[in-house]
Chains A and B, each alone.
Chain A
Amino acid sequence: MSRYGTLKLGQENNLEIESARLSARAAIRQGFRLVRRAPSAVWVLFVANMLLAVVAGLPIYHGMLQFTSHSLMSRNLLTGYSVDWLADFAFNNPGSLEHYAQFIVVMGLLALPVNAILAGGVLARFQRLQERFRLRTFFRDCGRHTWRMLWLMVMALICYWAVFRFVNAGLGGLVDQTTLYWMNDRSVFAAHLGVDLLVILLLVFVNMVIEFAQIRIVYDGSGFLEAFLAALGFSIGRLPRAIVVYAIPSLCGLALLGIYRLVTPWHIIHAALGDSAGPSYEAAFVLGILFVGQQLVMFGRYYFRVATWASEWSYFASTRGPASPTETSGKRAAA
């Protein structure tokens, strides 16, 4: 029971707020409850991004295979990493690495609108918890909010660009110039670190504002500009609590990546792959386990991402009262 009351998931499609604002802790707790009831939203995000990644990585896979599959160097790559191979590949396939990087960037750029559009469906799912998940409904919700989400994405990109341009490049450049002839590298480091931390904080703030704006678009059908400005006011007005609600689930996802990085037993994997001479059931099994393990981590990361939205949704809802009917927001959007 929170100090401020509880948020009930009513029999209706929409959420009902029983009393005043939730505490950050209660909002996060409610958020995790929400996401437990909407796992399908996580699945959609996860699968969509995985497919994009699979496509993005294909040229590299083919490049590696073509260049190395008949070489004993493949054994080195199976059980570790070879700096020599990378030098060989880069020199003997001029432009290939740049091409792969460009392709990944293109797919990454595609991932931006895809994720923006899917956000509409995911957030709308919080309004339809009593309904059975249907892809058709999910994508209909995505479609309903598509243009406002895309405009919001453009607005977000402008904000991110501004942070990079004015704080990172501008202020960072100023610090570069100022510290150029400082003789104590500890002080230079501290000055740069200060700018970098400021950049990170501002990026986080923009991200938080955009997420509250996405929620507002779905929650009460606001236009993107109205939602953005309102979310900005909302975030500034309730900064400490909004940050906590945003940061805790987000950091859980990041922590998951850190744990993966620390605990993945590469030496065991490499030893097992090294023992299996060429294609074998054992190699397939090891690689299968690796793939599943990695995808579990990714699923976890998307789970926490949706949990972040859900926590923000709960917190936002607790300040607003019942959401407007979905149909209404749809009509507004159409208008």
Chain B
Amino acid sequence: MRQSWRVLVGSLVACLTAIASLATAQTYQSRIEHPIVHYKMSASLYPGTKTVKGHYVLTWWNHTDDAIRDLYFHLYLNAFKNLDSTFMRRDPIAREHDSLTDWLTIPGKEKWGWEQIDRIQIVNGSDLTPLITYVHPDDNNADDRTVVRIQLPQPIPPKGSIELSVDFTSKLPRVFARTGYDGDYYLVSQWFPKIGVYEGPGERGLTTGGWNCHQFHRYTEFYADYGSYDVDLTLPSDYIVGATGFGRSEKKDPDGTATYNFYQQDVHDFAWTASPGFKKVTRTFDWGKEVRGDEVARWSEILSLPASEIALRNVSVTLLLQPYHRNLEGRYFRAVFNGLKYYGLRFGAYPYDTLTVVDPPHNSYTSGMEYPTLFVAGSTFWPGKHEFQPEGVTIHEFGHQFWYGLVGNNEFEEPWLDEGFVTYSTAKVLETAYGSPCSYLRVMGIPIQAYGWLQVPLPKFPFVGVESIPVGPYFSCVKLPEATSGRSLYLQHATDDDLVRNGWEYRSRLSYVVNSYMRPGLNLDTLDHYLGPAVMARVMRSYQQEWRYRHPTTRDFIDVVNSVSGRDMDWFFQQFFYNSNLVDYAVASIWNEPLYGHTGIYDEGGKKAYYSRKDAVEEYQQDRQKQYRSTVTVRRLGGASAPVDIDVRFDNGQVAHEQWDGKYRWTKFSYAGQHKVVSAVVDRSRKLLLDSDYTNNSRTVKADSVFAVKWYIRWIFWIENLFFAAGFFS
């Protein structure tokens, strides 16, 4: 009896263990019919020298009909090798990079990073190492060592493949941009020799095939083919590790190290992080608990899809937290769960089993960066309740799992296709999950953020470092609509560049930022207004689903827009994506004039009848039902054009709704009747978020000064206080 009880308990425990292991087992099934790459890799971290030594066998498939005679690889870490790399070159853009300036002051040679292929050979074939040459396809910078070309002795036939065995060494840089180490914290990304993308004829609009393998530029990001990564990482056993993919095994080595195996299919990159200081917390996103039935029904209706296609997946979320940020654990998880939920409902379920979120150390310059199934968020230790920190960056970087992770655009050539989409999508998710962010801290009644946008120089001292104290909840909140939060910065750089452009060819860093983030975000919201939210939701979902695990271009997105909406929206993209014209519609004037009777000479019954002006005026004044002719002039002041609606309000409260194609420089609307026009508004529903002057979109006949008096009174008070403070110094 006693024995059978033990057996029963043992069986139960075994069952529970099996169920538990099933719950965390890998369930992801590859969705890609023909993956391009497969890396079978092992790598060891040597903390003493900040070096990673590794070996991989790369299987690369030629998916095109071209015979391929050479191979291209990225050696991204060579960007940090010296100041002559394209990445580090001291051009005007580089000088805007504060973290580099700080970095250069660090003494010693340990901070520099580099990467080399120690040996590369075809498996069971010839050694290719002597055939390596450095190339620089973007800028002819002969000192740049971030791209190599290897001439093959035999071409890879169409639809053929090649297996390469590669030994490499990567010296990690002291981090100041995305990758490297800071103390014993490692964020190891773009760290191994990574094959470029061979694009065949017809792909991404190309007529001839070729390698797409750009140098590493300061602000551009990445581009790679989908495939699978099977990676063994060996590092000191007290380090806590997070990486792309699913942790399949972990074993302690006799030399005090541990080896972890991570595996993931259908991704285009592999990054990892390690630190003995991480606090590791894992929770499961249980979609059955997080998403209500009515939410599924609502999205099913909006997207015209069966509810089964709205279903999400459970995801194991691991947070690698700095121990001094333990107060943020709940906020991080809530943000990630909101991302999984709302992105999933809109664009389709996050397909992978795992997601790792890294909370980086202070000033590590790694925050806000995305890699497949792993991203780096970031926050100060004491964020205000409504300041969207860490929520903003967490949801933004999570969004990259969809835009760039799943839909793999070329970030070098069209950065807007992921950053712009994420800006647009993050605003939607934040608005749904949290509402508008608040700005509390104000100078003379103006939110400090707004003050910052204007770039009016505020002295930074004396309170450097204390500005992030969340005193906000003690004051009233000024709502800052997320959708238009980038408008001010956009306006400052509106005419610098066209939006669709190579990432390294924007005029300045801020132009890159504006044209990759703010402007496309505003444009997509404007498109949303023109198509309607439901159609736009269907467009975005179709684009996401159609282009998952592929490399779309702007043209591909336009085609999806046209096809799903059933409208030709090419004009929209021509106006707002392929040029840098400003858009500005204005109500230029409102003119009400009395409609006097006849004045002058008229032919009446074969005679010339004369009516004097004086008589006409007198007659008009005696008339009880006076008639007016009102004219509203609307102008297009900017270079861009779009159809707009115009509302004209009369003194009896009636409103006339007008339409204008917005193409010519101006148009007029005239009305004759007993009522005068009192005001007019162009683009009343504010479809055009890029309009450079909302204030002139409306005009009233009567001037109003009360608002100015109110602000004058407020300003007097705050200036008095300023002078009171000046009195302190006198």
Contacts and interface: CB of A to CB of B under 8 A. Distances in A.
Contacts of A84: 484, 487, 694
A256 to B, nearest CB: 11
B698 interface: yes
Interface string A295-335: 10110011001000000000000000000000000000000
A255 interface: no
Given A180-B102, A196-B462, A111 B727 contact: yes
Contacts of A1: none
Interface string A157-184: 1001000100011001000100011111
B729 A71 contact: no
B491 A176 contact: no
A56 B715 CA distance: 9
Contact of A153 (B462, B702, B710, B730): B730
Nearest to B699: A70
B491 A287 contact: no
A70 B700 contact: yes
B360 to A, nearest CB: 9
Contacts of A90: 453-454, 488, 491
B324 A193 contact: no
A98 B447 contact: no
Interface string A44-76: 010001101110110011001101111111110
Interface stretch (B214-222, B237-245, B529-537, B716-724): B716-724
Contacts of A186: 324, 381
Contacts of B338: none
B296 interface: no
Nearest to A294: B717
16 contacts: A49-B723, A49-B727, A65-B708, A69-B708, A72-B700, A83-B488, A84-B487, A85-B694, A87-B453, A91-B693, A108-B726, A112-B730, A115-B723, A188-B465, A294-B716, A301-B724
Nearest to B689: A84
A294 B713 contact: yes
A75 B707 contact: yes
B720 A50 contact: yes
B314 interface: no
Interface stretch (B39-47, B88-96, B361-369): B361-369
Interface residues of A, number: 95
B449 to A, nearest CB: 8
Interface in A117-160: 119, 153, 156-157, 160
Given A81-B445, A111-B727, A182 B363 contact: yes
Contacts of A39: none
Interface of B: 102, 182-183, 185, 277, 322, 324, 361-364, 380-382, 445-447, 450, 453-454, 456, 461-466, 474-476, 478, 480-481, 484, 487-488, 491-492, 679, 681, 692-700, 702-717, 719-724, 726-730
Contacts of A168: 461-462
B contacts with A: majority SS: mixed
A226 interface: no
B249 to A, nearest CB: 30
B363 A181 contact: yes
A305 B704 contact: no
Given A56-B719, A71-B696, A73-B695, A81 B730 contact: no
A53 B723 contact: yes
A71 B700 contact: yes
Interface string A278-304: 111001000100110011011001100
Interface of A: 45, 49-50, 52-54, 56-57, 60-61, 64-65, 67-75, 77-78, 81, 83-92, 97-98, 101, 104, 107-109, 111-116, 119, 153, 156-157, 160, 164, 168-169, 172, 176, 180-186, 188-189, 191-193, 195-196, 199-200, 203, 207, 257, 261-262, 266, 273, 276, 278-280, 283, 287, 290-291, 294-295, 297-298, 301-302, 305
Question: 3 smallest A-B Cβ distances: which pairs?
Answer: A192-B465, A183-B361, A185-B362
Contacts of B363: 180-183, 185, 188
Given A88-B694, A183-B183, A71 B487 contact: no
A189 B463 CA distance: 11
A141 to B, nearest CB: 17
Contact of A156 (B447, B456, B481, B730): B730
Nearest to B461: A168
Contacts of B710: 77-78, 273, 287, 290
Contact of B707 (A78, A101, A109): A78
Contacts of B724: 49, 298, 301-302, 305
A266 B699 CA distance: 27
A71 B698 contact: yes
A257 B463 CA distance: 20
Nearest to A292: B713
Contacts of B697: 71
A291 B705 contact: no
A54 B484 CA distance: 34
Contact of B456 (A72, A75, A98, A298): A98
A64 B707 CA distance: 9
A111 B727 CA distance: 7
Nearest to B712: A61
A168 B453 CA distance: 25
A195 B463 CA distance: 9
B538 to A, nearest CB: 29
Given A185-B362, A280-B706, 17 more contacts: A49-B720, A52-B719, A61-B711, A71-B697, A73-B698, A74-B704, A75-B707, A81-B447, A86-B446, A92-B692, A111-B730, A114-B730, A184-B322, A188-B362, A193-B465, A195-B464, A262-B474
B504 to A, nearest CB: 27
Contacts of B446: 81, 86
A198 to B, nearest CB: 10
B468 to A, nearest CB: 8
A164 B681 CA distance: 51
A68 B698 CA distance: 10
Contact of B463 (A52, A115, A196): A196
A181 B476 CA distance: 35
